[in-house]
Amino acid sequence: MEKEWLFEEEHKMFRDSFSKWVAREIAPHGEEWEEKGEFPFELYQRVGELGFFAGDFPEEYGGVGGDFRYMVVFAEELAKCRSGGTAAGLTLHYSVAMPYIRDFGNEEQKEKYLAPGLRGETVGALAVTEPDAGSDVAGIRTRAVQVGDEFIINGAKTFITNGVRANWYIVACKTEPEQGRRGISHILVDKGTPGFTVSRKLDKLGWRASDTGELAFQDVRVPVTNILGQKNRGFHQTMHGFQTERLGMAIGSTAAAQHCFDITLEYCKQRHAFGQPIGSFQVNKHKFADMLILIEASRRLAYNTVRLWINKLDCAKEIAMCKVFCCENAVKVADMCIQLHGGYGYMMEYEVQRIWRDQRIQPIGGGTSEIQKEIIGRLLGL
């Protein structure tokens, strides 16, 4: 599992520091937070004050001016934190919400949202998905009508990670509905704005410790200066943001598969049946070989795509391939690990079941596998 070729010394130092912190301050509490259905909100501030959110952001706002490889390390090490919901909440803020502010925000918005976000003092959420519009971003119905120097927003969002506890939201709205996808804008809405409410916290199969919410907007008034980026460019901005979100999901899934593999390998060396370790049986050896092939192939595909991305080379097709291949392989690996654990794999006290539950969302969230295959086909000229 050679990683040296992709990462430089600064990334290795970050990995060493972040890995030790995750093992010391998150992993021991992961199961407790999963049962509780929530991790402490203060964890964001702790991550911020230690500089772990700083990697891929400009120095003038508190970042270190690094590249996407910091986010790769972040996702890989959080895969071992024993709580997919905690990893999802932290990662959504760091590698999804804040990059929108970095890439499209004006100076005032960066000072208001990016700087405190990097310190973990405020938390962001991206609100695109709606009850009737998931992968079909162009089909959203939430409206933002401009009246004078204000937008009046009406609509609903669902499946929003960090949706319950976020301080600010990037809300995709139709500003010119007759223009279809060319009439979508991103508008910043702060928690506490009159008319904006969290309808409910959703009960999920996995990511139990994350707050996934439904949002309602009823005559919510915000200044026109709250528009993020260019008016009616929200679809384009969303597609841009999806690139790193999907690549990050592929990387995190591969790391979770590796973690699941590692703990299962140790289990099969210790667990005995018919007078010998169960890992020594040929059928189980072959399962481990199959899993290792899937994991290593996923990692190589993902790392090569990261190389293309950081060198600003076109890799839309490769990102879609990563999203399908890596995320689906992680589910396959977790399923095989449950099988290798036998009846114990079905017990809540064993981590493999939690990893399977957490990974099952990955081929769905951020654009389903089916959507990614459509993208690949389109990029092939079909």
> Which residues have a catalytic role annotated?
245
In the block, which residue shows the tokens 């959507």? 371
Alpha carbons within 13 A on the beta-carbon side of 151: 27
Is the CB of residue 63 less than 8 Å from the CB of residue 118? yes
| Residues with Cβ within 8 Å of residue 23, at least 6 apart in sequence | 80
- The secondary structure element, H or E, covering residue 160 is strand 150-161
Cα–Cα distance between 140 and 148 in angstroms, integer?
Answer: 24
Total H helices, total E strands in the chain? 13, 10
Cα–Cα distance between 237 and 343 in angstroms, integer?
Answer: 46
Cα–Cα distance between 25 and 16 in angstroms, integer?
Answer: 14
3-state secondary structure of 132: coil
- Tally Cβ neighbours within 10 Å of residue 132: 11
Residue 14 DSSP code:
H
Both structure tokens of 70: 């910091």
Is the CB of residue 249 less than 8 Å from the CB of residue 323? yes
Both structure tokens of 19: 């890995």
